[in-house]
A and B are shown apart, each in its own frame.
Chain A
Amino acid sequence: AQSVAQPEDQVNVAEGNPLTVKCTYSVSGNPYLFWYVQYPNRGLQFLLKYITGDNLVKGSYGFEAEFNKSQTSFHLKKPSALVSDSALYFCAVRDDYGGSQGNLIFGKGTKLSVKP
């Protein structure tokens, strides 16, 4: 079965420092991977996706993610964190099998807290 894991419930970073939010995946074939962000009482905002090609994917708001096939990871990164980046971050993989084919399997989410 396909799955996504976000090993950290919370990540704390000082403003201006680089941030990394971790994600590992388990799929049978080639993965379609996504990162979304959720602010309080809001829906999910799409940040970036990996389908094929360059392992470093650039997305919205200065975020990027590195696809690593050998480590089955898709970590989200930003060189310099902002207080406004504080939110809940979800990694997702597209489900390519069974009744939910084509839809998303989400990780549990990682709460990012950026302190001034």
Chain B
Amino acid sequence: KAGVTQTPRYLIKTRGQQVTLSCSPISGHRSVSWYQQTPGQGLQFLFEYFSETQRNKGNFPGRFSGRQFSNSRSEMNVSTLELGDSALYLCASSLGVEQFFGPGTRLTVL
């Protein structure tokens, strides 16, 4: 079975721009979660989607948003980018208790 895939793997943007990241879960997995990883804050939960609905949300500003499509693929969007948004964004899919992570998208904001 193919693992979780994320595109693009690397992105460079400037402050004020917006960005969209994509995640394709493992086939059959309906839950997709997003995490942000930074050296200072570590791994933090952003939000989770299940059957096209946001089921849970972490403590991030409204500039961070997401959606899930009927095929379970998910996108996250960050508007009005700030320097502090530079991070590795990880997507995870799950069928049960454990989550399986993709390779991440490295976002650099200049």
Contact = CB atoms under 8 A, between A and B. Distances in A.
A35 B57 CA distance: 23
A17 to B, nearest CB: 28
Interface residues of A, number: 25
Given A99-B58, A100-B58, A101-B56, A106 B99 contact: no
A42 to B, nearest CB: 6
B104 interface: yes
Interface in A61-116: 90, 94-95, 99-109
A65 B20 CA distance: 38
Contact of A106 (B6, B42, B59, B100): B42
Nearest to B106: A41
Contact of B4 (A43, A95, A99, A109): A43
Contacts of B104: 42-43
A11 interface: no
Contacts of B102: 43
Interface string B28-58: 0000010100000011110010000001111
Contact of B57 (A43, A49, A99, A109): A99
B2 interface: no
A51 B43 contact: no
Given A43-B101, A104-B35, A106-B42, 7 more contacts: A41-B103, A43-B104, A100-B45, A100-B48, A103-B45, A103-B56, A104-B99
